[in-house]
Structure 1
């Protein structure tokens, strides 16, 4: 019986992984990483298109569960709606390589309506490959419809990361996927803490809308539609819409994570939060040993609850030390996600247990209780002051040695964020329907940084910055304006010198709403040296005065290293980075609606003379070749292997065979 169960579990795991597109048709770069390194060239083909969940490819899904696993069937949570996808997968294909591998990703744009697209490799610093960052209208012009653009760069920022569209709202409609860059066992400082690091233990979280994102965006910003998520997906799965067959009810499946009692597993988790939706993660009767964030390891910390904000990733170890059975893997959406109870559930299933739902109620969650014995610890809490149970992320101790950021500051920049009540002509016509003349429920408060709403220039800054000088504003050029009373919108740039240590004091003034903003930087990681919630609200003047009076403690020794950090409402986070990567780097809120209407700045590292030379033939505004491949490719390792990343008919046949064998074993 035990042998049959092990075979069944293995077959089902293979089936699930294939159906999710995780192993990508056996991509050879998904392997155990060696020491010394044996780099490979890893090629992927990404095709972007508009598609539909619960499409005709799904036949009779979910009434016939095997139909849900057909090629091109994307069930999601059972709600049919338009989706934007890569290779008809959601999440998209998982890139899993070893540190030092050379990545070649051919992105072909088949999005309808002639939409452009750019692909960002979230967490990759891309030093010497700045043009591959994929931030539309900052590092490149979007890829035009029918064209192919080849991204090529070495995997030199290890750990758990992800990729996503960085053009318009496409990330919110489905264009995202995992990007895991593993180390050899010798190079991984935590390799002795776990037994398995499996693709099937990837956890991709996203709040989800019942309708196309632009429809909700337009209704909210131009009328009184809401901006709240209806659901939560875990690895693109959920249980929401009911289907009937006679008197029987059916739902799409939730994600299932298989474990064996006594084993220790490394889970890799990412948040693609698109609305104001902090995610509270817990696993019934299990604790999480958190070991890394945004790809960078820190001293292990055991917690009951882990808060994850948009753009963040975390690695944790789960020890399967409970009674054999099924346990809920819970993701509770907070913030705006509480309005429609946008939460998600997956199942942690032990080898030898029945295929049934866990016994605890779906609605139960220990952290909901006020009883201290039920609360436990919360790492990375949401808008809470530090306490014995609520542990800010900056309390963690990095395993990486201190660097120059602990020794000095060359430039300090205060960035104050707020929702401002001001006549933004994009949403409030100053003559026809000014914000002062309409009902409160039709107000649109503008997301701004230092009273400025960011807008993109007419050409990418990295490649054509000398042509768009008049469109760029800096703190110096803004001094002649009163942006607190008149609407200011421009390509907002802060310039820092190459080689400077930069400290950003990022403040969420918190006057309008109790919100929060996960801020993400491109091209660098930073040290989180301070974080504090001061009250219901604050101001940049209050924080400056507190700082000048020596009232802010900075943790400089072994400060945790990240690329995305939450800014507490009515408080601040202070980050430091070494500006050693010349270029134009986006620093922005990672919530899609906040980003779309201006909560961002660009940090220009270096002078014009320091900027990298634009590759020969690189697309420009005013011209676009049908396809672009780097003219001078990086040297390829001697053992290069390339493989396309797409589901094939062979995969589907293997999937059907797997389920036939599984049914035989069950009997």
Structure 2
């Protein structure tokens, strides 16, 4: 299949009436609009834990995130939603008013937080709650675990709302005892994801139509913190759009200071595609993934691919041979999963960046800089073998695949162990197990408060596509992953003499809450069942989750 490689598009400044866009003026008098969010660790890392009370009103409105008019979800009239900054141990009380029209429900899931002791606040519609009905309110009230910190985010967990912009950042700063100093890193949040000009409902209908042969709908654009770029001339006649061309030269995505350590907290908020990221004129070094888990990172020009639901933090340093202060942030989608060419899509978008301070010149021999750091192959920064038992107490074997079956009108549906998930109402959390319907795959794990069980999930992926799976309420260690070049590549420890991917790695096992499970292969995920509740697990490709690729674990 041929790949269309276009020149990077540039960023338009306006997203629609009513959105606040911070501005600054350069030394040349030019107005710049910023698309990245500067975080404030100094306001949270050095204080005591507290309670934050938030009031959110959810509506929808017409906006132009990348120049194309579209209905998007708004929280307090903003897209993306407000960024929450907290510290470990904070309590969040979020009063949510559903002011949507047409009897549309909603829910909010805090992606990556453990929700320890508050399973009913997890936001998983059909598992832990019903949707919040239009015209009603609901209060999410939960404490952030005292040992959790890192890059998180929140998003709707109802229907397909996430793909229409129902999301925002959630940063948990690690508490520090020393006084604030100028050595504290500058932190910026990057909510990056693919973007569709049609509504998410329309994109799902297109995917589910038998005539589409199970080919996932390919996105049209890229957004960074709710803003992106689209060349109106790229629109195809079959899908006309209301597009406004804007002056892209007045936009600057990020200000960087050569005298300060700078960290980018990056989240893939997209529905389908992974992406790689680079800052031309700089090198990037991965520091953590998901909920602040330290990695063994190396300096590289590009880092990727980061897939839906995954997060990473990157140290940004000016390239030792940089001559100009002008630089560019480049986001490029992973086109490998795309099964057809969308001529409306430019897969690489660029965002102007400005360095301040002296240009740094260092000998090239001081360190090696890789062309690409594969974030999917990252290992833990420290030996994990002392934290992990040599064997698990319980092993759960799962097989996931997408099938088009005649009795389901040849629509593509995701299955796990031959179970097609659909949300149940009332939700499972309030029903006895014998009232759960046939669409619920929920293995039982006995909760032992005195000595919690260690559980291995052997997740076999029978598809030609990789799947980014997210487990609610728990982190896990990735002990092994494998993709077969010849056959299904699946693994059943009760039948196979040895795993095809070799022995489990307990030393470099990476701790995560979202992981890209290889195509025609498997991943072994080990977690400690010390958090009682009903915890959903699903593919974070929205079209796969919406078509049934989901389940839960019952730790009670």
Q: Is the 8 A contact 2:164 2:200 kept in 1?
A: yes
Contact 1:263/1:320, CA 8 A, preserved across alignment: no
Change (3 A) 1:261 1:535: same
Post-superposition offset of 1:556: 1.1
Find the counterpart in structure 1 of residue 220 from structure 2.
230
- Match status 1:522 vs 2:522: no
Partner Cα distance (1:14, 1:149) in 2 = 41
Distance 1:452 1:260, change over 3 A: same
Map 1:367-516 → 2, pairs under 5 A: 376-381=371-376, 392-393=377-378, 395-398=379-382, 402-403=386-387, 405-425=388-408, 428=409, 435=410, 444-462=411-429, 464-466=430-432, 469-473=434-438, 490-498=439-447, 499-510=452-463, 513=464, 515-516=465-466
Task: List aligned pairs for 1:147-162, cutoff 5 A.
Answer: 147-156=136-145, 157-162=148-153
Q: How does 1:558-597 map to 2 (within 5 A)?
A: 559-597=509-547
Deviation at 1:584, TM superposition (A): 0.6
Structure 2 unaligned regions, length at least 5? 1-22, 234-243, 359-367
Q: Secondary structure at the match of 2:527?
A: strand
Q: SS in structure 1 opposite 2:66?
A: coil
Question: SS at the partner of 1:114?
Answer: coil
| RMSD (Å) for aligned C-alpha atoms | 3.3
**What is the Cα deviation at residue 179 of structure 1?**
0.1
**Whole-angstrom distance in 2 between the partners of 1:134 and 1:310:** 18
Shift of residue 577, structure 1, vs aligned partner: 0.3
In structure 1, the residue matched to 2:8 is none
Over residues 105-130 of structure 1, what are the superposed CA-to-partner deviations in whole Å (9 max), with x where a residue is unaligned?
Answer: 11110111111111001111011111
User: How many corresponding residue pairs?
Assistant: 496
Alignment of 1:189-200 (within 5 A): 195-198=184-187
Specify whether residues 52 and 547 from structure 1 end up closer, same or farther in structure 2 by C-alpha distance, changes over 3 A only: farther
Determine the C-alpha separation between the residues in 1 that align with 2:245 and 2:155.
35
Q: 2:529 & 2:159 partners in 1: Cα distance?
A: 28
Task: Please name the residue that 1:328 is paired with.
Answer: 328
SS of 2:152's equivalent? strand
Q: Which has the larger radius of gyration?
A: 1
- Matches of residues 196-215 of structure 1 in structure 2 within 5 Å? 196-198=185-187, 201-215=188-202
Aligned residue runs from structure 1 range 89-100, under 5 A: 89-100=78-89
CA distance in 1, matches of 2:210, 2:143: 46
Cα 1:294–1:152 change in 2 (3 A) is: same
Unaligned runs of 5+ in 1: 1-5, 24-28, 54-74, 354-372, 382-391, 429-434, 436-443, 474-489, 607-667
Question: 1:216 offset after TM fit, Å?
Answer: 1.9
TM-score (norm 2): 0.81
Distance 1:8 1:251, change over 3 A: closer
Contact 1:97 1:180 in 2 (8 A): yes
Matches within 5 A, 1:620-639: none
Higher share of residues assigned strand: 2
State the distance in 1 between where 2:75 and 2:435 align.
37
Q: Distance in 1 between matches of 2:36 and 2:381?
A: 35
Query: Does the CA-based 8 Å contact 1:242-1:251 persist in structure 2?
Result: no
Q: Contact 2:253/2:351 (CA < 8 Å) preserved in 1? A: yes
CA separation of 1:604/1:14 partners in 2, compared to 1, >3 Å: closer, same or farther?
farther
Partner of 2:227, secondary structure, is: coil
- Relative to structure 1, the CA distance from residue 605 to residue 502 in structure 2 (aligned partners, 3 Å threshold; closer, same or farther) is same
The answer to whether the 8 A contact 1:50-1:85 is kept is yes
Secondary structure of the residue that 1:131 maps to in structure 2? Answer: helix
The answer to whether the 8 Å contact 1:298/1:399 transfers is: no
**CA separation in 1, counterparts of 2:482 and 2:457?**
14
Cα offset for 1:30?
7.0
Q: Is 1:50 the counterpart of 2:60 in the alignment?
A: yes
Q: Indicate the structure with greater helix content.
A: 1
